[in-house]
Amino acid sequence: MLTTQTAETVSRLRCINCGDMPHSAGRDFRCTTCGDLLEFFFPDWISGAPADPSTDPSTLKSLWLKRRASREALDQSGVWRFRELLPHIPAEDAITLREGNTPLYDMPRCARSVGVEHLLAKHQGMNPTASFKDTGMTFAASSAHQGGFRWVACASTGNTSASMAAYAARGNMHSLVLIPDGKISWGKLSQSLDYGALTCQLRTDFDGCVGILNELVRQKPVYLLNSVNPYRIEGQKTAAIELMEQLAWEPPDHIIVPGGNLGNSSAIGKALLEMRDLKLISRLPKLSIIQAHGANPFYRSVREFGGKKIEPMTADTLATAIRIGNPASWKKALRVLQATGGEVEEVSEVEMAIAKAEIGADGIGCEPASAVTLAGLKKLRRKGFVKSGDSVVLILTGHLLKDPDFTIKFHRGDLFAGTSGESEAAAAKYLQRAPIILDADLAAVIAALEAAERGS
Ligand code: F0G
C-alpha cells in the first residue's frame, strides 16, 4: 500500500467577477462585494510560480495510478484519488461511496452515424447514484460535514437531489430536497425518498425552486449543495482528470457536454485549464456545450449577445434534467468555452431522442439529457467544426434507468404523438423497438424471430 504523503493543497476562494478573495464563503456562496459566484484557485499553480515538487506531473501520475491498488476508501474513490488537485478536506470528514472510476467506452455505431473515426463516451451515469453528480457531491457533502452542519439542501431537477440524499445519509446529515412538482422522473424521485431526504415538490419549475432555496439558506443554518457551491465544482473536475488518465494523458480534440445549470461544463473546463498549467497535459481539447432548444439560454447568450448577458427563459424540454431557464454558472461556462475554443449548440427534442436510441444501440444507454451530446456532435460535424479524423469524447451524465418512461414512450412511438415534433419523429421509426405482446406459444415466438431476421 502506498503511503506517499504530499503537501496539503493550498487553495483560496476568489470571486469570478470582482476578484475579491474572502477567507470563507457565506451561506449562499456568493461574493459579499458584488454578488457573483466564487471559485477555488490555487496560488502555487499559477504559471511562472516556482516549481512545486508536490505538483510534479510524473510524480502525480504515478501516485494516482498506484492508489488504484490501495485498500483505503479514499484511494479507491475516483474523486479523492486526485486529492492533490483539490482543496484540502480532512480525511475524517470525507464521505465516499467510491464514486468516479467510470468507464470510457468506444462508440462504433455512433461514430459511423456521425462520420468520425474516434468516438468515445465517458459514462458518468455509472456512478453510485447513477449520475455525474456524485463526483461533486462526495466533496461538497464532506465540506458540509467538516462545517458541522446538521442539514444540507438543494434545488434539483432530480439527479442532484438523489446524489445529495445518498451522501447526506452516509454522513449522518439530514437532507432537504426542493424539486419541481411534475416534470421529474420517478427514478430520481424514488432515490431521494429511499435515501431518507425530506422531499418537497414545489408547484414551480427548477428556477423557482432555486429562488426559494436561496431565501431559505439566508434564514436557516442549512448547507447549500447546488453547484454554486464551489466544492461541487472541485469534485466534478476529477471526471476530466480521470478521463485524461484513461487516455494516457493524450487529450482528445473535442469534449462534448450537455449544458443545464452549467456547473459540469465549468468544472470540466476548469480541470482542463489547471491540468495544462500543471503540465499534466500539453494541449487543450475544445470543450463544447450542447443545450436542448427549449432550454437554451446559454446558446442564445453566446449566439445573440456574444456572451455579454443572459436572458432567463421559461424552459421546456422532455430532458427534464436540463429543464433550466436561468443557469447559475453561465459566466464560468463562458470562460471555459472561450479558453478552450469550444462551440455551443442546440438540438431539437427529436434530434435528442434519436441520438439517445443510437447511444442505446451501441449497448451503452443514457438518460435523455446526456444524449444531446451526440445530437450536438452531429451538428458540429456537419458545420465542419469537428473533422472526420478528430478524436471526440462525449460526457454521458446519467444512466438509462434514470428515466425509463422516456425510453418506453420513444420505442412505442408515443413520445411525440400530438406534439409539433410528430412529423420530424417519423425519421426515428427505424430505431424504435416496441415490445411485442404474444400468446405463450413457441410458434408465435419463432415467427417473431424470423420476421426480425428478415428485417435486419
Ligand atoms: N445531465 C444530467 C443527467 C443532469 O442531471 C444535469 C443537471 C445536466 C446534464 C446538466 O448539468 O447543470 O451542470 O449543466 N442536473 C441538475 C440536477 C441541475 O438538479 O440534477 P449542469
Amino acid, res. 388: S
Q: What's the 374 CA to ligand 1 centre distance in angstroms? A: 16
Residue 322 in contact with ligand 1 by CB distance below 6 A: yes
pLDDT at 183: 87
Summarize the confidence of residues 6-27 as an average pLDDT. Answer: 89
**Pocket perturbation via mutation, ligand 1, pick of 124, 237, 352, 397 by most ligand atoms within 8 A of CB:** 397
Residue 368 in contact with ligand 1 by CB distance below 6 A: no
pLDDT at 292: 98
Q: pLDDT tens digits, residue range 415-444?
A: 999 999 999 999 999 999 999 999 999 999
Which residues pair with residue 283 across a beta bridge? none
Q: What percent of the chain has pLDDT over 90?
A: 93
Residue with the three cell numbers 491540468 = 275
In angstroms, rounded to a whole number, what is the distance separating the alpha carbons of residues 428 and 444?
Answer: 27
Pairing mode, if any, of strands 286-292 and 344-347?
A: parallel
Summarize the confidence of residues 306-315 as an average pLDDT. Answer: 98
pLDDT at 55: 83
Q: What's the 222 CA to ligand 1 centre distance in angstroms? A: 22
Summarize the confidence of residues 197-224 as an average pLDDT. Answer: 97
Residue 3 — very low, low, confident or very high, per pLDDT cuts 50/70/90? very low
Cell of 179: 424539486
Residue 51 — very low, low, confident or very high, per pLDDT cuts 50/70/90? low
pLDDT at 9: 79
Nearest-CA residue for ligand 1 atom 4 is 321
Burial of 201 (0-12, 13-18, 19+ CB in 10 A): middle
**Whether pLDDT at 64 is above 50:** yes
**Cα 268 from chain centroid (whole Å):** 9
Q: How many CA atoms does the CB half-sphere of 336 hold within 13 Å?
A: 29
Q: What's the 37 CA to ligand 1 centre distance in angstroms? A: 18
pLDDT at 45: 85
Amino acid, res. 199: T
Contact present, 159 and 322 (Cβ < 8 Å)? no
* Atom number of ligand 1 nearest to Cα 163: 20
Q: pLDDT tens digits, residue range 348-364?
A: 999 999 999 999 999 99
Residue 47 — very low, low, confident or very high, per pLDDT cuts 50/70/90? low
**Pocket perturbation via mutation, ligand 1, pick of 134, 175, 264, 407 by most ligand atoms within 8 A of CB:** 264
Q: HEC profile for the chain?
A: CCCCCCCCCCCEEEECCCCCCCCCCCCCCECCCCCCEEEEECHHHCCCCCCCHHHCHHHHHHHHHHHCCCCCHHHHCCCHHHHHHCCCCCHHHCCCCCCCCCCEEECHHHHHHHCCCEEEEEEHHHCCCCECHHHHHHHHHHHHHHCCCCEEEEECCCHHHHHHHHHHHHCCCEEEEEEECCCCCHHHHHHHHHCCCEEEEECCCHHHHHHHHHHHHHHCCEEECCCCCHHHHHHHHHHHHHHHHHCCCCCCCEEEEECCCCHHHHHHHHHHHHHHHCCCCCCCCEEEEEEEHHHCHHHHHHHHHCCCCCCCCCCCCCCHHHCCCCCCCHHHHHHHHHHHCCCEEEECHHHHHHHHHHHHHCCCCCCHHHHHHHHHHHHHHHCCCCCCCCEEEEEECECHHHCHHHHHHHHHCCCCCCCCCCCHHHHHHHHCCCCCCCCCCHHHHHHHHHHHHHHC
In angstroms, rounded to a whole number, what is the distance separating the alpha carbons of residues 31 and 37?
Answer: 6
pLDDT at 456: 75
Q: What's the 397 CA to ligand 1 centre distance in angstroms? A: 8
Pairing mode, if any, of strands 391-396 and 254-258?
A: parallel
**Pocket perturbation via mutation, ligand 1, pick of 127, 129, 131 by most ligand atoms within 8 A of CB:** 131
Q: pLDDT tens digits, residue range 106-130?
A: 999 999 999 999 999 999 999 999 9
Q: Which residues contact 46 (CB under 8 A, 6 or more apart)?
A: 277
pLDDT at 416: 96
Phi-psi map region of 136: left, alpha, beta (phi>0 left; psi -120 to 50 alpha):
alpha
Q: Minimum mean pLDDT among 21-30, 136-145, 245-254: which range?
A: 21-30
pLDDT at 7: 55
Summarize the confidence of residues 32-44 as an average pLDDT. Answer: 95
